[in-house]
Structure 1
Amino acid sequence: MLDRRSALASATTNHSKVLKLEEAPDFSLTQVAGEETAIAAIAGALPEKVGQAVAREERTIFCIGPRQFWFVGPAGDDIGAKLDGSAAVTPLSNGRTRILIAGAPARDVLAKGLALDFHPSAFGPGTFALAGLHHTPVLIHCIADDAFHLYAMRTFAMSVWDWLRDAAQEFT
């Protein structure tokens, strides 16, 4: 098996006293499409509607569309093998880059480029959205009060990274 290579290998990590911006590379991402009952029989309870996420143990399940889910877990997590043909399974781990932005100004940085309400009452831990950032589709997941994971297509990861660094300059 080939080793995974970072799309951000040439990028420099951006840390300041108030903001952390770094790649969060050790994850597995699988898209699963099919009947909810068949998937839930193996994976457990699923989000009930598009835009909801369920976190359980080391895995988060995002409902990204009707009967479509993203399973995010630790590197090597193979939900596809467990489903054993009961759903359409597409491994996406090598096609996506996950970026962590954390710190008190994280919401302000993201609000510069995303038309979303990032107030904690509207976008709190566990919330996610599919949106466009700098003309690039991303999934933004609030993982803690002021911490977010952004999932971007690998080919656009450097563009997203550069935009985030530029938007965060006032906080570094």
Structure 2
Amino acid sequence: MSEAVSALAGARASGLVELADAGATGMITLRGELSLLGGALQSVLGLGLPGLRQVVTGEKGQVLWMSPDELLVILPYAEATAAAAALTAALGDAFATVAVVSDARAMIRVSGAQARDVLAKLMPVDFADFPVGSVRRSRAAQVAAALWRVSDSDWSLICFRSVAGYVWEGLATVAQPGGEVGLYR
């Protein structure tokens, strides 16, 4: 990944939460009939299909449910191209799309006890009912984003790389001390 593409380049920030650029991350979008995609995922990555708005995690990566006909595979950056080729081969003639979107997306990690409060300032999401292993597509401020809960206090957010600086600055601003909300305790 070129420096021009890496908008956040290892950025970190502290406040009410810890923000961290996840760095170069492999991402593959799969579109098609989920049952067909599931077979390819299992054979290539050993990962099953996630349920509705869920994340499946395994040794080789993660699979996020994005819509009734779309999945997002997260894996090491260096493995994305080969995995996409293997998924394409495993799908054969099936009506499906496999696209490496690693360089088009950025991932930000949000960690800390007040993560839900900070995220809720930018995202119209019900964080009261958002269990670990769940994913939501929404927006962060005014841009498209996807978010999933990794653990009780750890979250991952994906947005287009072209707006990653905007999302980062928004998160860093609403995470400043003095802006505590205390809604999700």
TM-score bracket for this pair, using the shorter chain length: 0.7 to 0.9
Question: Are 1:13 and 1:22, in contact at CA under 8 Å, matched by a contact in 2?
Answer: yes
**In structure 2, what is the equivalent of residue 72 of structure 1?**
74
Q: Which moved more, 1:81-90 or 1:104-113?
A: 81-90
**In structure 1, what is the equivalent of residue 36 of structure 2?**
38
CA distance in 1, matches of 2:11, 2:117: 21
**In structure 1, what is the equivalent of residue 112 of structure 2?**
103
Cα pair distance change 1:83/1:58, threshold 3 Å: closer
**In structure 1, what is the equivalent of residue 98 of structure 2?**
89
**In structure 2, what is the equivalent of residue 141 of structure 1?**
148
Counterpart selection for 2:133 from 123, 126, 137: 126
Alignment of 1:167 with 2:174, yes or no, is yes
1:76 alignment partner AA: A
For normalisation by structure 1, the TM-score amounts to 0.86
Alignment of 1:22 with 2:20, yes or no, is yes
Query: Deviation digits for residues 19-54 of structure 1, max 9, x if unmatched?
Result: 2111001321000112333322231221243x2221
Tell me the matched-pair count: 166
Question: Are 2:64 and 2:73, in contact at CA under 8 Å, matched by a contact in 1?
Answer: yes
Question: Are 1:19 and 1:171, in contact at CA under 8 Å, matched by a contact in 2?
Answer: no
CA distance in 2, matches of 1:146, 1:123: 12
CA distance in 1, matches of 2:38, 2:171: 36
Query: Deviation digits for residues 95-121 of structure 1, max 9, x if unmatched?
Result: 0110011011111101112121213xx
Q: Which moved more, 1:59-68 or 1:81-90?
A: 81-90
Question: Are 1:105 and 1:171, in contact at CA under 8 Å, matched by a contact in 2?
Answer: no
Identical pairs, percent? 27
- Where is the helix percentage greater, Structure 1 or Structure 2? 2
CA distance in 2, matches of 1:48, 1:98: 22
